[in-house]
Structure 1
């Protein structure tokens, strides 16, 4: 294993400006490639906030998702960089919308796709979650075995375990996570509670799974409840990089993947999970 250079792009998806958001995303990817990054990661729903409460024409705006996916495949090939284009709201032939993330390799090929399982509460009225019988799937990439999750999946350790059991070394999580998600009660208790949640969960998942965890959140104005706090965590090191706030921008993060083997030698989590008498059932 070796050092992997990751560009974490904390993009602000401006409402009703899908094309503008897309062009800014492409610009960041070009900057990432010029900086030597091997992987560029964008946030969940980075083309627009697709909540019907913001835009009643949600379905029409999700119809052109394939054009944007093709554009990300093209730029990945052009710049010789892997890309996780956040997640896309996809309108399918049965009139359902899915929240999907892709891993595109540096040749422009799609290595893996993930449709969000654990939908946030407000999503459930208009997004179709992946079927209960489908598994979380880890897949091979030029950077090693990778798993994709989306936003609220971070709250479910089971999702990580299923990916780790299949050999994933890096878990990438595009997110649209806001301080205001705590609701009125949570905000009253602690206005920054969702930041505490994210900080604790990202680092915990890295340690408890001996995995690199890449959490890429949206940017946006504080008075709109945006949290930002995109970050990368590793076992032993904890958080190795993090946005301090919700401003739009990009951080180039060097991740020493050799640390994962060192951590596994100490914690033996993957070894235990692979044993014949593993008592939780998370086994390949």
Structure 2
């Protein structure tokens, strides 16, 4: 896990700069470079999300924020387009809409991927867990500046509190492991807080706002013990359990 700028890491979020669209159109070559790196190092990689340009209706360009899981042999095992778009992004990015959240089989187990603001939606985790995900990987660009001035009046560290509490809650309520990787840098502008979190025990590895690399073992036996106790997965296997996604630009 690297604690660095993992969302918009290639281009930044500068949609009014004409170079932003140009780079998005060339996203395939950057993805190929990550595939070559994964094969060379024999490691699985979920690189920071990539802004991708595609042709929409009537030739209008549309942009997606996409995460990929690259296996240790360089092959792409799955991808995910961000569903829950943070409201300042909505004029520029397109959601995956009604597409289901789908888990994938990987060398490290069955994995689901979410992106940044998806963290705020427990339904997203529920759908991944229903599809068998044991680990949820979340590349993120979440900063202190995401809080409004009114929020900061109540708590200057409101966004840090959001991340710390929500990550642990999601691990518990879904009996899953979470690998959360956030942008890092000077604390004035970055939160960091990248971490590996499990139910029952909380974070097993955590970083501050500094850039760096963290290596940790995940004891997935914890997931079995948590499920035996809470029976979350057993409950959501019922036929009448479902998750419907609705999105509004307002």
TM-score by length of 1: 0.81
Distance 1:227 1:188 in 2: 18
CA RMSD after TM alignment: 1.6
- Between the aligned partners of 1:212 and 1:142, the Cα distance in structure 2 is 15
Partner of 1:262: 225
User: Residue 184 of structure 2: SS of its match in structure 1?
Assistant: coil
- Give 1:247's aligned residue: 210
Q: Match of 1:91, SS? A: strand
Report whether the alignment pairs 1:162 with 2:130. Answer: no
Show the counterpart of 2:158. Answer: 193
- Which moves more between the two structures, 82-91 or 267-276? 267-276
1:188: Cα distance to partner? 2.2
> 4+ residue runs of structure 1 moved beyond 3 angstroms?
none
What displacement does 1:221 show?
2.3
Cα offsets for 1:47-85 (capped at 9, x unmatched)? 2312336x4532123222111100111111111100001
Tell me the secondary structure at the aligned position of residue 145 of structure 1: strand
- Is 1:118 aligned to residue 111 of structure 2? no
Q: Does 1:226 align with 2:190?
A: yes
Query: Taking structure 1 as reference, are residues 281 and 129 closer, same or farther at Cα in structure 2, changes over 3 Å only?
Result: closer
Query: Residue 103 of structure 1 aligns with which residue?
Result: 69
Q: Does 1:89 align with 2:51?
A: yes
Unaligned runs of 5+ in 2: 244-250
Structure 1 gap ranges (5+):
1-7, 13-42
CA contact (8 A) 1:50 1:89 kept: no
Aligned to 2:149: 184
2:147 aligns to what SS in structure 1?
Answer: helix
1:271 aligns with 2:237: no
1:45 has 2:8 as partner: yes
Corresponding residue for residue 34 of structure 1:
none
In the other structure, the counterpart of 1:38 is none
Report the equivalent of 1:29: none
Aligned residue for 1:159, secondary structure, equals helix
Query: Taking structure 2 as the reference length, what is the TM-score of the superposition?
Result: 0.91
Count of residues paired in the alignment: 240
Aligned mates of 2:11, 2:156 — CA distance in 1:
25
Between 1:86-95 and 1:142-151, the stretch displaced more is 86-95
